[in-house]
Amino acid sequence: MHSLPGETSQIGTSNLLAAWNAAVYVAQMDDERLNPVLNSGAYLEATREVLRRNGGLWFLDESFVISRERTSQT
Residue 4 has pLDDT above 50, yes or no: no
How far is 24 from 19, CA to CA, in rounded Å? Answer: 9
Residue 1 CA from chain centroid, whole number: 11
DSSP 3: -
| Structure confidence at residue 55 (pLDDT) | 77
Could you state, in order of their start, the residue ranges of all structural domains in the chain?
10-54
| Structure confidence at residue 10 (pLDDT) | 61
10-33 pLDDT tens trace: 667 778 888 888 888 878 888 898
